[in-house]
Amino acid sequence: MGDLHDQALTAFRSAETALQKVSGAAHRGELHRDPKAVGVFLAFSSSAFIGASFVITRKALQRAAARGGKRAGEGGYAYFSEPLWWVGTLTMVVGEIANFSAYAFAPAILVTPLGAISIIISSILAHYYLAERLHICGLLGCFWWVPTWRTRPRGRHGRPARPERRAGRGWPKRRAA
């Protein structure tokens, strides 16, 4: 179990190094030259905000329940008076705006898989801040994402799969009846 934890830390350190390279380019003023770098940066930050928002919101719901308020599932609204719940909700909104903006700078095939990082972030933060156990299946799921996030379906002869017909050309024209 200890070596899995070490592998997780290694994977996250490598992701952090990549993010630092992107942010270093931002400080040098090089991001405006490569819109994909902006998109990747926005996708990573979006995942960080969204992943953290789940844990923040859950912590707020636990606090509201500890104060003796009615639970949300029972029709209670005690969580509305919890400032931490509003912080979690605002964090989610910022993450979703960053995610939406990432699609303007990078292609969807690059941005969409990076959204899975939010699940990894929330599971690790929940392990530390909510005292939830991260089981072996969860660790394997986190590790499986690392080598497969950029894989694309391949067609025959190892070339990327392409649709046979594209909109606007190649479709048979309708004949007048």
Residue 166 lies in a domain: no
Give 17 or 132, the one with higher predicted confidence: 132
Q: Give the pLDDT confidence score for residue 142 in this predicted structure.
A: 75
Q: Give the pLDDT confidence score for residue 42 in this predicted structure.
A: 92
Residue 70 lies in a domain: yes
Residue 167 lies in a domain: no
Give whichever of 122-126, 139-143, 157-161, 166-170 has the largest mean pLDDT: 122-126
Domain that residue 27 falls in = 7-150
Task: Report pLDDT digits (tens) over 19-70.
Answer: 666 666 555 555 556 788 888 899 999 999 999 999 999 898 888 888 876 6
Residue 155 lies in a domain: no
Residue 159 lies in a domain: no
Residue 161 lies in a domain: no
Tell me the three-class secondary structure of the chain, residue by residue.
CHHHHHHHHHHHHHHHHHHHHHHHHHHCCCHHHCHHHHHHHHHHHHHHHHHHHHHHHHHHHHHHHHCCCCCHHHCCCHHHHCHHHHHHHHHHHHHHHHHHHHHHHCCHHHHHHHCCHHHHHHHHHHHHHCCCCCCHHHHHHHHHHHHHCCCCCECHHHCECCCCCECCECCCCCCCC
Residue 174 lies in a domain: no
Domains identified in the chain, total number = 1
Residue 2 lies in a domain: no
pTM of the model: 0.63
